[in-house]
Amino acid sequence: MKPPFESVLDEYTPMIHHIINTLNIYKDKDRYVHEATIALWEAFCSKDCSKGSFTSYAYSSMRGKLLNHLKKEVRWENTHMFVDEMPETSTDFFNPSVGNLEEYTCYLTEKQKKWVVECIIKGKKLEEVAVQEGVTVSAVKSWRAEALKKLRMEISK
């Protein structure tokens, strides 16, 4: 007969805090305690006494779940940018009504200007521009490469 989970939780609470300290988790400790408690519950429900001691199984289950949670959090932070972290850029260049666009694109060919207007200003994908102009995606990519090269040279002057 299994002991009630509450007694198991009381017994393994120091282990939870030990794992959290070992992993150097100092932010949102309550959330990680909760994650470790869930892992302990899952280990408690799926334990098989014939496969070894429950203590080592619980330890590895909790530690693994916390490591997975840390990895997910790091991945999320790397892929998401907060508004206050975004670099401030001038939107005048991207606003075609400002008139600065012609100043930068006067050195470009017509096809390169089409790439700037369609992809940068209007936000279309390369494939959409290729279909619209009746050319291959590779051709639009070459327009982009040459346009970027010329624009970088012009801006660096």
Nearest to 66 by CA among 39, 26, 28: 39
Report whether 147 contacts 115 (CB < 8 A).
Answer: yes
User: Quick one: average pLDDT of 122-126?
Assistant: 90
pLDDT of residue 43: 92
Domain count of the fold of the chain: 2
> Domain check: are 70 and 19 in the same one?
yes
3-state secondary structure 52-115: CCHHHHHHHHHHHHHHHHHHHHHHHHHHCCCHHHCCCCCCCCCCCCCCHHHHHHCCCCHHHHHH
Whether 90 shows a pLDDT value over 70: the answer reads no
Instruction: Mark which of 62, 85, 108 sits at the end of a domain.
Output: 85
Tell me if 95 is assigned to some domain: no
Tell me if 48 is assigned to some domain: yes
Interatomic CA distance for residues 35 and 37, integer angstroms:
5
> Domain check: are 72 and 116 in the same one?
no
Range of the domain at 11: 5-85
The 3-state DSSP class for residue 25 equals coil
Q: Would you give the DSSP letter of residue 119?
A: I
* Residue 103 token pair: 């100043």
Q: Indicate yes or no: pTM above 0.85.
A: no
> Domain check: are 70 and 111 in the same one?
no
CATH number of the domain bearing residue 127: 1.10.10.10
> Domain check: are 61 and 121 in the same one?
no
Whether 22 shows a pLDDT value over 90: the answer reads yes
- Tell me the range of 60-64, 86-90, 114-118 where mean pLDDT is highest: 60-64
| CB count in 10 Å sphere of residue 101 | 19
> Domain check: are 48 and 107 in the same one?
no
Instruction: Mark which of 60, 85, 110 sits at the end of a domain.
Output: 85
